[in-house]
A and B are shown apart, each in its own frame.
Chain A
């Protein structure tokens, strides 16, 4: 089931994919998180953030698992704060350069 925290219906709104989060996340985190792998708390599948469905016309940005539509990430920007809600992801695995 989807986490009922947003009014964005997964089927009836335009969506893009996680590639579109590169700029908004890069701005607040400074790294490219689109290649990070998220394990969905709904279906336990692991995918790169780039492969998630992103609803970008909502207040804030909402990323959903393409398999089960669970919300895996929400990003809300206010004047002086960024809120990243990751409760829909069990693990976020971030690739690092080999040193």
Chain B
């Protein structure tokens, strides 16, 4: 059942799936066309709503992974086993499908273009999605530390390689693999720890902003590690996607 909108309140807008792009075996990027979309700030998310023919509706939050731009945005979804919404977006939705979104949402986990500080981005699994938007729009030195179980679980592999190689703004990408490493990788699988962090992070007195995003447990651990190596909690921004699973 459709609810009446509150005057001045945020409302659901129609969005059309313009294209889809497989990122891994279980994750996919959806390109959405939205009439009158005026862009976003990297780090923001949208709520996506699906409706069944019988009127049942479900909505979930998805970060915007594309660079800001008019009329179009991209979300990148990792299928959660037994999930209600994500398997539909990853396996079923196809170009031409209609869904609804509201947003862009959130003014806290954002990297504003005017912020002159270098940025340390740390992502776990699909938590790299909003960080990818930040990488794509980077105007200050940026370092991304990206933890996945294996190379085949990593999203945006090609785009990250391009971001690293081209562009005027230096973007450095470091991968951490927790279960399986690529052949010839110099280290065994390992969790993101204080050592790696200390190697990738700028020194503690540098004026840096850190963005940490991923499953709740991952974000907790990394935020604590950052504080341990001397980061001021007020310079650490976090976004938790929910339980670690699947």
A residues with a Cβ closer than 8 A to B are 14-20, 22-23, 26-30, 32, 34-35, 48, 50-51, 79
Residues of B within 8 A of A29 (CB): 6, 9
Given A16-B216, A23-B103: 13 more A-B contacts, CB < 8 Å? A15-B242, A16-B241, A19-B109, A19-B240, A22-B106, A23-B61, A23-B105, A26-B102, A27-B10, A30-B7, A48-B108, A50-B106, A50-B237
Interface residues of B in 103-140 (CB under 8 A from A): 103, 105-109
> Is there an interface contact between A32 and B107, defined as CB atoms closer than 8 Å?
yes
Residues of B within 8 A of A18 (CB): 108
> Is there an interface contact between A34 and B107, defined as CB atoms closer than 8 Å?
yes
B residues with a Cβ closer than 8 A to A are 3, 5-11, 45-47, 59, 61, 102-103, 105-109, 216, 237-243
Total A-B residue contacts, Cβ distance less than 8 Å: 71
The CA-CA distance from A26 to B107 in the complex, in Å, is: 12
Once A29-B9, A32-B105, A34-B106 are accepted as A-B contacts, the answer to whether A23 and B47 lie under 8 Å apart by CB is yes
> Is there an interface contact between A17 and B47, defined as CB atoms closer than 8 Å?
no
Residues of A within 8 A of B5 (CB): 27
Query: Could you tell me the distance in whole angstroms from the C-beta of B213 to the nearest C-beta in chain A?
Result: 9
> Is there an interface contact between A51 and B238, defined as CB atoms closer than 8 Å?
yes
Once A27-B6, A27-B10, A30-B8 are accepted as A-B contacts, the answer to whether A17 and B106 lie under 8 Å apart by CB is no
